[in-house]
Amino acid sequence: MKLLFERSVPGRCHDLLPACDVPVAEFDASLLRGTAPRLPEISEIDLGRHYTELAKQTHGVNDGFYPLGSCTMKYNPRVNEEMAALPGFTQIHPLQPIETVQGCLEALYTAEQLLCEITGMDGMTLQPAAGAHGEYTGLQLIRSYHLSRGDTARNKIIVPDSAHGTNPASASMVGYKVVSIPSNPEGGVDLDALRAAVGPDTAGLMLTNPNTVGLFDANILEITKIVHEAGGLCYYDGANLNAIMGHVRPGDMGFDCVHLNLHKTFSTPHGGGGPGSGPAGCKEFLKPFLPTPHVKKTEAGYELYAPEQSMGKVRSFYGNFLVILKALTYVLTLGKEGIPEASAGAVLNANYMMSKLVGSYDMACKGLCMHEFVMDLSRQAHDHGFTAMDVAKRLLDFGMHPPTMYFPLIVHEALMIEPTETESPETLDEAAEVYLQILAEGMADAEKLHNAPLNCAISRPDEVGAARNPIVRYTFE
């Protein structure tokens, strides 16, 4: 398809600006550019068509099934958008005096209270802009706590090998050494390995639960006990809260801090780079270290304050305010009954779809899963010469977004499927049929899958080239 610059015709500008009705500001000539910028000149209809064409080449949850594992691509109710678009929320400035934005502060405060209740935490910051940013903030809470006690020897974070990839990365960013411990044969944390790993240098443990193979660790209470007895703190990666919300709470399982991905569990749009929101919650004893500013409720109204031993700022202003509003709308819409129903539906849908595929596809773990399940295509790769990648590519021909591929790393030919609770049984039936059909195709003729997708605008781009040498701007000859 043509780029805007290639569609551009000199003079075919369309401008909708009214005539200037204020005095024209004079700038110092040294600040002005000598030649006009090279902008594409294009009519409104052609501009509209350009973006419509682009939109058609992508796949969103409004187009079809989108079971991208570990990403929770659920349907985002439109009412969330309507609430976040109210002028009282959008027509404000972040530097406005706080007495003029009391309603906005109340919304932030309410979101914080509700998320604390859902996670079993006592305090929460809404500032982090993504899940990994929430991890970073939570780990800074742990670090601040140890340092405030003069305990400088604790420089290691234990991360099970079934954790999300961002966990070890965030721990390194905070300056910790990462100690990886293996999974047991059931897919949970190996308790003996954990006991052997903890000690006076343990700052804490980061646990992704349910973990990346979609399992809830049955030994969770024992895990947090082992870490606490060694003087470490427990961090809960709650990005996958979609599996458990309303049923169990990290705070009741012995965790000291947690982060949430509002752009997954709490139905704010994501994909294509954001904006997201990754609030970090903590127990009472960590609250003094929370980032600044933080909202509090007083008799005179809502105020911003700096917690006594605050780690400082992790982001400008209040976090991704409109994203938080969408999540707040979602929580208030679902209410106390709806929240556990949503997670029960997510777990039911994952198990329903898995039950249709088990026996044909190998599963990474036996038994029931939580909100997602991981299939392992190693046998097909070995016996029939087609891989997880080939299956994923073929799915595109059926208008379905592929699942997450080659993740978690501990499963060799992984396809990680997270259907989410917002899909109907009919969609899941149809998707399972397609997965089975592709499997049969691969057994009959692996070559066909190697060439897939067969009906898409682009077939197999050079993925390494695109990652290593991305062309992200137009260059004129």
The reply on whether position 137 binds ligand PLP by CB under 6 A is: no
Give the range of 144-152, 236-244, 284-292, 439-447 binding ligand PLP by CB under 6 A. Answer: 236-244
The reply on whether position 123 binds ligand PLP by CB under 6 A is: no
CA distance 128 to 105: 17
Pick 190 or 237: Cβ nearer ligand PLP: 237
- Helical segments of 198-282, H only: 220-229
Among candidate residues 74, 68, 54, the one with its CA nearest the CA of residue 392:
68
Strands (E), 187-274: 202-208, 233-238, 257-260
- Residue 232 beta carbon to ligand PLP: minimum distance, rounded to whole angstroms: 20
The reply on whether position 371 binds ligand PLP by CB under 6 A is: no
The reply on whether position 164 binds ligand PLP by CB under 6 A is: yes
Which is it for the CA torsion 326, 332, 338, 343, positive or negative? positive
- Residue 280 beta carbon to ligand PLP: minimum distance, rounded to whole angstroms: 12
Pick 240 or 380: Cβ nearer ligand PLP: 240
Q: Binding to ligand PLP (CB under 6 A): which residues in 67-86?
A: 70
Enter the tokens of residue 55.
Answer: 């939109």
Which residue in 67, 123, 131, 214 binds ligand PLP (CB under 6 A)?
Answer: 131
Enter the tokens of residue 261.
Answer: 């991905």
Q: What's the first-to-final CA gap in the chain, in angstroms?
A: 19
- Residue 131 beta carbon to ligand PLP: minimum distance, rounded to whole angstroms: 2
Spatial neighbors of 170 by CB under 8 A, at least 6 apart, are 132, 135, 136, 139, 206
Give the CA angle between residues 468, 471, 476 to the nearest 5°. 150
The per-type count for the chain, helices as H runs and strands as E runs, is 15, 13
List the x/- string, 84-103, binding to ligand PLP by CB under 6 A.
--------------------
The reply on whether position 128 binds ligand PLP by CB under 6 A is: no
The reply on whether position 261 binds ligand PLP by CB under 6 A is: yes
Which residue in 125, 240, 242, 343 binds ligand PLP (CB under 6 A)?
Answer: 240
The reply on whether position 154 binds ligand PLP by CB under 6 A is: no
Query: Read out DSSP for 70-89?
Result: TT------HHHHHHHT-HHH
The reply on whether position 126 binds ligand PLP by CB under 6 A is: no
List the x/- string, 263-292, binding to ligand PLP by CB under 6 A.
-------------x-x--------------
- Residue 237 beta carbon to ligand PLP: minimum distance, rounded to whole angstroms: 5
The reply on whether position 237 binds ligand PLP by CB under 6 A is: yes
DSSP code of 232?
Answer: -
410 class by beta-carbon count within 10 Å (0-12 exposed, 13-18 middle, 19+ buried): middle
# of chain residues touching ligand PLP (CB under 6 A)? 13
Contact of 402 with 396, CB cutoff 8 Å: yes
Kindly list the residues in this chain that would bind ligand PLP in the complex (CB under 6 A). Answer: 70, 130-132, 164, 166, 208, 237, 239-240, 261, 276, 278
